[in-house]
Structure 1
Amino acid sequence: MGNKPSSGRAAQPLGSGHSLRCWGSSSGSAVAVAGGFAPAALGTDTGGSIRTPAAWCGIVGLKTSVGLVGRGGVVPLCPTHDSVGPMTRTVRDAALLLEMMVGSDPRDVATWYVPPVRPLATIENGVKSLRIGMLSERDLAGVEPDIRMLYDRAIADLMALGAEFHKIALPLSISDYLGRGGDIMSVESYALLSPYVDHPDSPVDPVIAKRISHGRDISGPAYYRLLETRRLAQIGFQEAAAGFDAFVAPGSHRSPVPLADVEENQPPNHFGRLVNYLDLASLVIPVGLTSNGLPTGLQIVVRKFDDALALRIGRTLERERGGLFVPPPGLQP
C-alpha cells in the first residue's frame, strides 16, 4: 500500500493480512454490507453504533434524527438516544433507503408530526456556499495521524467543490459529552434491562453488565438533572453553531484493533455520543485507507431533521471521487 494513506479516489484492496475487524452494536450489519453478504442493512445508534462500525468497515452509515424512523419494533436501550438508520456501500443507496423508511410509527410517538424529509430530491445539489464547521485542535486531540490526514484531505476536497469551512468551537469538551451521554444511557438501560443484568445467571457480559448497572446508583433527581443539563447543552451548541449548515468530525478517532487488544472500558469512538447527546443527525462516509490498509471515515453532522443535507454533502464527495467504497480483498465493488 506504500507509506501514504489512500485518497479514496481509486478502489484498492485492504493490505495483506487484514480482514474486516469490528465490534459493538450493528457491527454484524456493517460487516455484512462491506463483505458483500447483503447490499444494505439496518443498524441502531445510541452512541455511535452505526457510525463506528461503518467507519471501521469502510461503508456508509447514517445515524438518523430521532423521530425520523420508527423504533416500534426495536428493543430499546436508551430511548432518549436510540435511533435506526441505513448502512450501505453508497451514499445514494442510503438516501434511497431513508426515503422508504421515514414515516409515522403508531408505536413511536417521536415520529408523530415530523416534517417531511425527502433526501433524493436534493442529493445532487452540491455543496457550493454551504458553511461547514471543522473541529478545533482541542477537539481533535488523540486522533490517529493517518485518520487526521484523511479528515483534512476530505475537507480540502469539499472546499474545492465550493463549501466554506471555518473552525467551530464545541461548548463542551469531547470527554464531557462522552461522560454525560454515558450516564443517561446507564440510567435508561438499567431501567429497561435490570432483570437481565441482575439475574444470578445473567448471560450479559460482565463488562457490559457493570456499565449498565451504573444506572442503579443514579437517583431520580440526579437523572432529572442529567436531562436538564442535556437541554442546556443543546441550547449552547445551537448558539455556537449559528450560521453553520453542518460540521465534520472523524468517523472515529482510532483504527480498529484485533479483538484480543480491545480495551472494554475505553470508548471506541470519541466522536460518537456527542451526536446522540445533542439530538443531532450524522452521516459517516468512507474517505480512504490508513497506511496499514484499514478503512476510515468522515462524519458529517447536521441539525435534527437535516438528514437530507448530510446525505447531500456526502454524495458530493462520492460523486467527485468516483465512489467511496473500497472492497475487501477478493470482492468486487
Structure 2
Amino acid sequence: METRPITREDAALERALDLAARGTLAGGNPRVGCVLLAADGAVLAEGWHRGAGTAHAEAAALAAVAPQDRARLVGATAVVTLEPCHHTGRTPPCSRALHAAGVARVVHALDDPTPRAGGGAAWLREQGVDVVTAAEAGLRGELVTRARELLASWATAGLRGRPWLIGKTATTLDGRVAAPDATSRWITGPEARAHAHEVRGQVDAIVVGTGTVLADDPALTVRTPGGPAAPRQPVRVVVGERPVPAHARLRRGEGEWLHRPTHDLAAVLGELHARGMRHVLLEGGPTLLTAALRAGLVDELHAYVAPVLLGAGPGAVGDLGVTTIGQALRWRTTSIRRLGDDVLLTALRTREGKC
C-alpha cells in the first residue's frame, strides 16, 4: 500500500503539538502550539501558550518572527493545534492578530468548543483568509487524535462546567494507604513523591478533606526537587465541616487556601470552575476519594503503587456500593511508568466507570 508523503503542514502540526505540550494545565487556558510557514513553506517562527496572562500561541509565534522576515508574513500559513480565539480577555484576539499580520491561510487541528473563545475561524473566513481544519487539509489523522487527547481535559471541563478531577492514591501492593497505627510516611519513594509534586504544579487547586488535615497536617505546597517551594502554588482547598486548626501547615504556605465546611464536593468543584479553575487534584484520604468516586466526579486516576506489604491498615477506597463484579467501576489504563522502585498507573474513566 502506498504511503502518503509527509507534507510541510504535517510536520508543522506535529511540531506545534510538541510545543503545546510544554504549556501548563493550570490557569484555565488550553495548551496550544503554533508554527508559521512562509509562502515557500519555510518555517518563519513558532510559539506556544505558556500560561494564563501570557501571549497565546499565535501571538507568541508572530512576536518571534525576525524583523527581516516580517514582510514574509504576508501570504503565510499559520498551523495551530486549536482554532484561533476571537475574544478579548487578558490578551487580544489571535484571529485579528493573524489577519493584521497578513496571514493568508490557517490550518487548525480542532475547532474551539467554547462559546466564549470560538468563532475565530468564521471571522477569518469573512476577511478572505483560507481557514481549514487539519482533517480538511488532509493532514495525518494521528495528529488530530493527538491534539484531541492534549485538549480533552480542558475541553471537557469547559463544556460541562466542572473542573477535570484527578484522583490520587499512594498505596502498598496490598492496597493500604497507612499502617494500623495510621502512620503513612513514606509508602512511596522519593522519585514517586517528586513526580507527585510535578502533578501538583500542573493543576489549579488541590483538594483534601478535613480528616486528612487533622491526621497528616499536610502543607499541600509544590516543592522543587531541591526542597524550596515553587514560585506558583495551586489553591489549597479543604472540604469538610470540622474546623481547620489554627496551627495547620496549609495555613502558612505560599498562595491561597480555602475551607468549605460542606460535604458537597460537587458544589465545591462548581465554585472552583466559576473561579476559572479547570484542573483539580484530589489528594484527600479514602473518605473523600470514595465519595468522589461514588458521585462519578473523578475523571482520571493516578495510582502510585509501592513494593511494600502491610497486611492490615486502611485501604485506598471505601465502600462504593458494589455488590457483584458486574458493578465494578472500570477504568482505561493510559500509561504505566516506573518511578524508582514504585509504579505509577494512570487511568481514565470509561463510560461504565461510575456508580
Q: TM-score, normalised by structure 1?
A: 0.24
Greater Rg over alpha carbons, structure: 2
